[in-house]
């Protein structure tokens, strides 16, 4: 299969800066009076899904939106703390659309598509305007203008924020826009409803099968197009900063129906999380990376000091390893670099805390320099959260932090129009693979989710519908269409299977075991041998799951065990694809670190000759190996270099 | 430590419901309240019993999904803390803990500790937004907003919509929740064109959903995990009566008849 990006022509006569504008002009439009004749399904109501559903409804399309939470306002975008990037250059410190584009391609370690990233940087401007127009209370200066701060991996201040709750405020903005359309009867909102499968008819995405999480009812929903904005799959590791119910099932089910899964091995491990404290731990808590602006990361120079009270360790016995190794970026190196270095010092036996899996993030210099009140004003809520969880006061004792799985750059393959290889299936936000390459920069997830939902899909979806209508490719589908009935039956059989295994182990016990395999072998440092081990262990665990799973209660009612079991079943398949992709990519890039491929200084070493491509995997059957398709990546505007943050 | 739980179990909206007793003999003080319940659930599952159903998701205190009444207090004994952020070190070895769902006419129980909070979404749908379509915004810095105003709007906007205020109120009123959104938007210049209409419609919806009225107990603000203050209720009342005088068209019929 040839993968076409469908990006507009870019050459000397057709600059990248006008690509999106040209593309928008060339796309077909749907007549305003005809928009109400189309129906669109949107799965997920985070930043990407809520903004897409609201905007498409404003344009006049009929939307059915779905979320598994009890309200669209609770999608996990809400937990994003630090901020959102935009190339506004309000501080006048030399930022520009091109610089944001450049930083994002470089930060992604040259594994993203230039045309997409350029568009993202352009649209970042509109996002801030839109959010302020909606009443999102972004932080301001005393002059009344918007405030900016710098954020991990950037040397300009381009991050807009709302205290430590930027995701919450942006999501509430999108949710309120969605609420307005629900009130206007343009959006039919289905809460507590989970997508179980994709309905594909004549090669086009035409609907979904959902499960009502309260009644257990399985229902088919038919539409002219399907938009997936179902988030990432970081919970494959069991412990991550994702919400408890965040899952990969919607994307995985689309994959099993023929959508390509791109770069599944690209996982972001966030450097500043609260360390694991015990077996009962259910999730990991992120501390915003903005903490690295004022906190200094260190571990003791000598392993024997690691058990000591950190305040008694003199300055000369501390190793501020990020400042030592990366003098120009210091504590602000990108996430992958910061995480890997934390792992390295812990591997050397210099980790701190009871588990020895932690490093210090110390604010004593900042408190001495700025005063406690300034530190409190900047990070008060984070310090409080830390104290609540660990029972330690970070104003007095340095915080302990450790990396944790946070974001997945991989996802369903999409073209420039955010359309997957299945016509009519569009994928937005973290659920797609685009824009972040092999590593996402801080404050860029909110930017991408909203760019996709507010400013890309409204145009590209219209083009699809207009073109497909001309081609007479969207006939009316009856509810008893054989493909609809067959998909419903398959979902029902899957649910029945999970209910009837009658084994002895809970879904969580399998999930925890899978998480350990993944963290151990497909985590921060990956080796050929480790990945091969994972590829043996995962299918074994999956086989045991189908022999020994226990689910109690009924399928036709609210059943939290069944919900978990269905998600874990899909994680058990997705995990294998991640390991396979990681094994195939015998280079290091961004968040994917293959220990065989590193520079003499221990930095990630890319192999552009062999791996400058998007790895897009096609499902070939439950027990068959997936097929690898490659989309070559070319770089005409950003020079390929070995990333250096020295 | 050993904790004895009395948990409200109710199979669906029609079931009458009852307390069941569970003993967790070995709770780690470092675990969160919900992690303790996870362990109880794993134990119930191993005995082929149905686990306790409760809403939760982010476990970082921001999504607003979790919430249960713990020993009579919404979200439990620690101030400014959601259930998911409450840790077991706040309890003592041998404690008895009573766990119930939010209780309010407008929040019917779905199962065990899960209630239907759709009424809160419908209050927002009635007017909790600024009517601006995508692509219609001017440059973000074209409208300076004094920092104290923006900060005050942010204070109100931090509401997570968990419903603890309703659960705490003897009248099961949703005044704190509604006033937080009315104030967030009503404070900002962008929110002025719809200010009167918004407060009228949101208050009308709040009443239609069966939430009670405010009689100034202040239990809501005490229970709020985000510290939303009573001043916003006062502000909503001012907005409402101001709208009644200045723009009576925006006030629901029921209020006009008086």
Residues A399 and A281 in one domain: yes
Q: ipTM above 0.90?
A: yes
- Three-state SS sequence of A352-416: CCCCCCCEEEECHHHHHHHCHHHHHHHHHHHHHHHHHHHCCCCCCCCEEEEEEEEEECCEECCCC
- Report yes or no on A160 lying in a domain: no
Q: In this complex, which of B111, B121, B128 lies closest to A71 when CB atoms are compared? A: B121
Closest alpha carbon within chain A to B83: A388
Q: Return the minimum-mean-pLDDT range out of A84-93, A252-261, A327-336, B165-174.
A: A327-336
The whole-number pLDDT of residue A421 equals 98
The CATH number of the domain where A572 resides is what?
A: 1.20.58.100
Do residues B99 and B128 both lie within one domain?
no
What's the CATH code of the domain at A352? 3.90.700.10
Total domains in chain B come to 2
* A291-315 residue pLDDT tens: 998 999 999 999 999 999 999 999 9
CA dihedral A588, A594, A595, A597 (to 10 degrees): -40
Choose the closest CB to B51 out of A131, A162, A560: A560
Q: Which of A353, A382, A406 is the last residue of a domain?
A: A406
Do B145 and B171 belong together in one domain?
A: yes
Q: In the predicted model, is pLDDT for residue B246 greater than 50?
A: yes
Q: Which domain holds residue A548?
A: 482-605
Test B121 with A72 for CB contact under 8 angstroms.
yes
* Mean pLDDT, rounded, for B218-246: 96
**What are A542-557's pLDDT values in tens digits?**
999 999 999 999 999 9
Taking residues A376-389, what's their average pLDDT?
88
Q: Which residues of B touch A55 (CB under 8 A)?
A: 133-134
Residues B97 and B138 occupy one common structural domain: no
Structure tokens at B193: 């064109």
Kindly state whether residue A470 falls inside one of the protein's structural domains.
no
B87–A391 CB contact, under 8 Å: yes
Question: Among A335, A542, A585, A594, which one carries the catalytic annotation?
Answer: A335
- Indicate the residue of B35, B45, B78 with minimum beta-carbon distance to A552: B45
Cα–chain center distance at B239: 22
Mean pLDDT of A192-198: 98
Task: Show which of residues 85-114 on chain B sit within 8 Å of chain A, judged by CB atoms.
Answer: 85, 87, 89, 110-111, 114
Q: Where would I find the beta strands (DSSP E) of A203-330?
A: 204-212, 218-222, 225-228, 261-262, 267-273, 296-300, 318-319
Task: Indicate which CATH number applies to the domain containing B228.
Answer: 1.10.1060.10
**A211 within some domain:** no
**Best residue in A179, A181, A288 for a mutation probing chain B (most B CBs within 10 Å):** A179
User: pLDDT tens, A149-192?
Assistant: 888 667 899 999 998 899 999 999 999 999 999 999 999 999 99
| B78's tokens | 């620690």
Percentage with pLDDT > 70 across chain A: 100
If asked whether residues A368 and A489 sit together in one domain, one would say no
What is the tens place of the pLDDT at every residue in B88-146? 999 999 999 999 999 999 999 999 999 999 999 999 999 999 999 999 899 999 999 99
Among A413, A417, A409, A412, smallest CA distance to A19 is for: A417
Over residues B65-92, the pLDDT tens digits come to: 999 999 999 999 999 999 999 999 999 9
Q: Does B147 touch chain A (CB under 8 A)?
A: yes
**Is the residue at A532 inside a domain?**
yes
Confirm if A102 and A94 have CB atoms less than 8 A apart: no
Give the whole-number percent of chain B exceeding pLDDT 90.
94
- On whether both B147 and B171 belong to a single domain, the answer is yes
Same domain, A277 and A382: yes
> What pLDDT is stored for residue A153 in this prediction?
62
Number of domains in chain A: 2
Of A378, A406, A434, the residue that ends a domain is A406
B106 and B122 part of one domain: no
A144: left (phi over 0), alpha (psi -120 to 50) or beta: left
Angstroms from B48 CA to nearest CA on chain A:
6
Instruction: Give the tens place of pLDDT for each residue, A17-41.
Output: 999 999 999 999 999 999 999 999 9
Q: Say if residue B248 is in the same domain as residue B190.
A: yes
CATH number at residue B28: 3.10.20.30
Q: Which helix (H) or strand (E) holds A489?
A: helix A482-500
In contact, B105 and B208? CB cutoff 8 Å: no
Instruction: Please check the confidence at residue B57 and state whether its pLDDT lies above 70.
Output: yes
B258 pLDDT exceeds 60? no
Last residue of a domain, one of B91, B111, B131: B111
| Domain coverage including residue B84 | 3-111
Cβ neighbours of A142 in B, within 8 Å:
146-147
Is A335 an active-site residue?
yes
pLDDT at A332: 87
Q: Using CA coordinates, name the residue in chain A closest to B132.
A: A134
Contact A134/B38, CB-based, under 8 Å? no
Contact A391, B89 (CB under 8 A): yes
Do A74 and B65 count as a contact with CB atoms less than 8 A apart?
yes
Q: Of the candidates A210, A166, A68, which has an alpha carbon nearest to the alpha carbon of residue A449? A: A166
Contact at CB, B58 and A557, closer than 8 angstroms: no
**Residues B107 and B127 occupy one common structural domain:** no
Residue B169: which pLDDT band, with cuts at 50, 70 and 90? very high
Query: Taking 80 as the threshold, does the pLDDT of residue A434 lie above it?
Result: yes
Taking an 8 Å cut-off on Cβ atoms, the answer to whether A179 and B121 are in contact is yes
Nearest to B144 among A88, A143, A281 (CB): A143
By C-alpha distance, the chain B residue nearest A287 is: B60
Residue A49 lies in a domain: no
- CB pair distance less than 8 Å for A137 and B139: no
Q: B135: which chain A residues are within 8 Å (Cβ-Cβ)?
A: 126, 130, 454-455
Which B residues in the span 225-254 are in contact with A, Cβ-Cβ below 8 Å? none
Together in a domain, B123 and B213: yes
User: Mean of the pLDDT values across residues B163-168?
Assistant: 98
pLDDT at B250 over 80: no
Size of interface A-B (CB pairs under 8 A): 223
Total Cβ atoms within 10 A of residue A531: 22
CB contact under 8 A, B131 and A180: yes
Measured torsion, CA atoms of residues A570, A571, A577, A581, in degrees rounded to the nearest 10? 150
Q: Which residue carries 């000091």 as its tokens?
A: A305
Can you give the pLDDT at residue A152?
A: 67
Residue A133 to residue A137: CA distance in whole angstroms: 10
pLDDT of residue B256: 61
Q: What's the whole-number mean pLDDT along residues A558-586?
A: 98
**What pLDDT score does A558 carry?**
97
Segment A363-381 mean pLDDT: 91
Chain B stretch 155-214, residues whose beta carbon is closer than 8 A to a beta carbon of chain A: 157-158, 160-161, 184-185, 188, 190-191
Provide the mean pLDDT of chain A: 96
A32 interaction partners in chain B (CB closer than 8 Å): none
């Amino acid at each position: 299969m040839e993968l076409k990006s469908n990006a507009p022509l870019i050459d000397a006569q057709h600059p990248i800066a006008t690509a999106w504008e040209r593309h928008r002009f060339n796309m077909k439009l749907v007549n305003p009076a005809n928009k109400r004749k189309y129906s669109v399904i949107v799965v997920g109501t985070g930043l990407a899904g809520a903004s897409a559903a609201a905007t498409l409804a404003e344009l006049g399309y009929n939307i059915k939106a779905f979320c598994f939470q009890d309200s669209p306002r609770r999608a996990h975008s809400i937990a994003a703390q630090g901020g959102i990037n935009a190339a506004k250059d309000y501080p006048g410190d030399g930022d520009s659309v091109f610089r944001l584009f450049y930083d994002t391609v470089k930060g992604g370690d040259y594994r993203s598509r230039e045309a997409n990233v350029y568009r993202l940087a352009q649209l970042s401007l509109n996002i801030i305007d839109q959010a302020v127009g909606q009443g999102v209370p972004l932080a301001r200066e005393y002059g009344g203008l918007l405030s900016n701060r710098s954020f991990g991996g950037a040397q300009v201040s381009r991050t807009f924020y709302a205290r430590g709750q930027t995701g919450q405020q942006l999501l509430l903005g999108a949710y309120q826009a969605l609420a307005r359309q629900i009130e206007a009867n343009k959006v039919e909102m289905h809460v507590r409803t989970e997508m179980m499968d994709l309905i594909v008819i004549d090669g086009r995405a035409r609907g979904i099968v959902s499960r009502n999480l309260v009644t257990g009812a399985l229902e088919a929903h038919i539409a002219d197009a399907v938009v997936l904005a179902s988030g990432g799959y970081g919970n494959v590791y069991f412990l991550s900063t994702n919400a408890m119910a965040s899952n990969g099932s919607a994307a995985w089910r689309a994959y099993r129906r023929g959508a390509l899964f791109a770069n599944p091995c690209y996982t972001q491990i966030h450097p500043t999380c609260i360390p694991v404290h015990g077996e009962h731990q259910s999730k990991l808590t992120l501390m915003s990376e903005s903490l690295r602006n004022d906190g200094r990361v260190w571990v003791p120079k000598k392993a024997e000091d690691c058990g000591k009270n950190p305040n008694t360790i003199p300055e000369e016995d501390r190793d501020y390893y990020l400042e030592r190794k990366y003098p120009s970026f210091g504590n602000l190196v990108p996430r992958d670099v910061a995480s890997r270095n934390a792992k390295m010092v812990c591997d050397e036996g210099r980790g701190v805390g009871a588990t020895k899996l932690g490093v210090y993030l110390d604010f004593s210099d900042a408190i001495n320099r700025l005063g406690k009140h300034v530190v409190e004003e900047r990070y008060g809520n984070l310090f409080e959260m830390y104290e609540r969880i660990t029972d330690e006061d970070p104003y007095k004792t340095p915080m302990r932090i450790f990396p944790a799985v946070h974001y997945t750059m991989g996802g369903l393959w999409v073209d420039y129009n955010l359309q997957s290889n299945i016509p009519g299936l569009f994928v937005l936000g973290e659920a797609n693979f685009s824009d972040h390459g092999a590593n996402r920069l801080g404050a860029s997830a909110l930017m991408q989710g909203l760019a996709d939902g507010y400013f890309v899909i409204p145009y590209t979806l219209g083009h699809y519908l207009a073109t497909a209508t001309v081609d007479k490719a969207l006939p009316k589908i009856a509810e008893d269409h054989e493909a609809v009935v067959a998909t419903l039956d398959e979902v029902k059989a899957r649910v029945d299977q999970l209910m009837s295994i009658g084994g002895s182990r809970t879904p969580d016990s399998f999930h925890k075991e899978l998480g350990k395999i993944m963290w151990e072998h497909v985590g921060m440092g990956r080796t050929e041998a480790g990945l091969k081990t994972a590829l043996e262990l995962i299918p074994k665990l999956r086989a045991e799951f189908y022999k020994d799973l226990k689910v109690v209660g009924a399928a036709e009612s609210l059943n939290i065990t069944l919900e978990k079991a269905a998600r874990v079943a899909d994680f058990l398949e997705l995990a294998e694809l991640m390991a396979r992709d990681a094994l195939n990519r015998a280079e290091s890039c961004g968040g994917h670190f293959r220990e065989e491929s590193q520079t003499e200084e221990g930095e990630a070493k890319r192999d552009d000759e062999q791996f400058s491509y998007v790895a897009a995997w096609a499902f070939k059957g439950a027990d068959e190996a997936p097929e690898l398709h490659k989309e070559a990546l070319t770089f005409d505007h950003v020079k390929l270099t070995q990333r250096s943050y020295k | 430590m050993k904790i004895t739980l009395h948990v409200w179990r109710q199979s669906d909206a029609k079931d009458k419901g009852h307390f069941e007793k569970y003993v967790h003999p070995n709770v780690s003080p470092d675990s969160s309240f919900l992690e303790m319940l996870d362990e109880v659930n794993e134990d119930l599952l191993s005995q082929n019993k149905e686990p306790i159903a409760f809403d939760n998701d982010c476990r970082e205190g921001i999504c607003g999904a979790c919430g249960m009444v713990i020993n009579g207090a919404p979200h439990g004994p620690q101030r400014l803390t959601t259930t998911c952020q409450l840790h077991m070190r706040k309890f003592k070895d041998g404690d008895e803990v009573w766990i119930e769902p939010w209780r309010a006419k407008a929040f019917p129980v779905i199962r065990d500790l899960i209630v239907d909070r759709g009424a809160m979404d419908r209050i927002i749908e009635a007017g909790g937004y600024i009517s601006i379509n995508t692509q219609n915004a001017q440059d973000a810095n074209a409208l300076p907003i004094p920092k104290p105003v923006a900060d005050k709007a942010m204070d109100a906007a931090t509401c997570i919509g968990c419903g603890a205020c309703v659960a705490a109120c003897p009248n099961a009123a949703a005044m704190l929740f509604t006033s937080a959104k009315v104030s967030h938007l009503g404070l900002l210049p962008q929110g002025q064109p719809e200010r009167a209409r918004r407060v009228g419609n949101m208050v009308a919806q709040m009443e239609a959903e069966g939430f009670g009225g405010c009689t100034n107990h202040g239990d809501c603000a005490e229970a709020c995990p985000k510290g939303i203050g009573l001043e916003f209720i006062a502000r909503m009342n001012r907005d409402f009566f101001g709208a009644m005088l200045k723009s009576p068209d925006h006030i629901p019929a029921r209020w006009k008849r008086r």
